[in-house]
């Protein structure tokens, strides 16, 4: 898989760890992040990485800012993006299994290296389970298309 990564100034160290994990798992990394501690605007970076996923130039993306909140909000504004802000391994797993999240948003300030590694590994190796969850993802897409999600009855 091609994995886009992006970070602001508070996610530099975490991004470097994430890039190493991506490489160890045999995936390709596309880096949209910054490398220094000069203030950087997370919406710009989230947009670039999310757009790469939306345009199918990357399969998924992992975004890091101080809390992960800003990156999540910004990425979810891009059509076709389902960005999940996760703080533990279970959240990361469920975001893929149930929500088919294509963007993982993480905190550069609040996660230790071991938790970060486990989250990235499980997120990159967990597949969408489909089934009843497909209908719910279809409803999310309907909202994105300015349609009432209650009109969606496809899926199980």
Residues 117 and 138 in one domain: no
* Claim to verify: residue 15 and residue 48 sit in the same structural domain: yes
Whether residue 155 is predicted with pLDDT greater than 70 in this model: the reply is no
Rounded to two decimals, the pTM is: 0.94
Q: Answer yes or no: do 56 and 116 share one domain.
A: yes
Separation between Cα atoms, residue 57 and residue 148, nearest integer Å: 30
Residues designated catalytic: 65, 98
Does 147 lie in the same domain as 112? no
Same domain (yes/no): 145, 120: no
Contacting residues for 59 by C-beta, under 8 A, at least 6 apart = 1, 2, 3, 53, 102
Q: Identify whether residues 41 and 101 lie together within a single domain.
A: yes
- Distance separating alpha carbons of residues 62 and 4, to the nearest angstrom: 6
- Residue 80: CATH number of its domain: 3.40.1400.10
d(CA 47, CA 137): 21
More confident residue, 152 or 120: 120
pLDDT tens digits, residue range 41-58?
999 999 999 999 999 999
76 and 32 housed in the same domain: yes
Are the CB atoms for 72 and 58 separated by under 8 Å?
A: no
DSSP code of residue 11: G
Instruction: Provide the number of structural domains found in the chain.
Output: 2
Place of tokens 């605007």: 41
Considering the domain architecture, whether residues 13 and 80 belong to the same structural domain is answered as yes
Q: Please list the residues that pair with 7 across neighbouring strands.
A: 64
State the pLDDT at residue 153. 82
Phi-psi region of 19 (alpha: psi -120 to 50; beta: other; left: phi over 0): alpha
Give the domain extent around 113: 2-125
């Amino acid at each position: 898989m091609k994995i886009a990564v992006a970070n602001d100034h508070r996610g530099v160290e975490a991004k470097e760890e994430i890039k190493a994990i991506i490489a160890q798992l045999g995936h390709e990394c596309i880096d949209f992040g910054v490398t220094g501690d000069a203030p950087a605007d997370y919406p710009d970076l989230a947009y670039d990485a999310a757009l790469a996923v939306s345009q199918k130039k990357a399969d998924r993306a992992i975004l890091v800012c101080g809390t992960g909140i800003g990156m999540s909000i910004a990425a979810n504004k891009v059509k076709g993006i389902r960005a999940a802000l996760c703080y533990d391994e279970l959240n990361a797993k469920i975001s893929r299994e149930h929500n088919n999240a294509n963007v993982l948003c993480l905190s550069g300030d609040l996660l230790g290296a071991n938790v970060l590694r486990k989250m990235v590994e499980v997120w990159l190796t967990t597949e969408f389970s489909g089934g009843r969850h497909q209908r719910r993802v279809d409803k999310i897409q309907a909202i994105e298309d300015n349609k009432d999600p209650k009109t969606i009855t496809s899926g199980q």
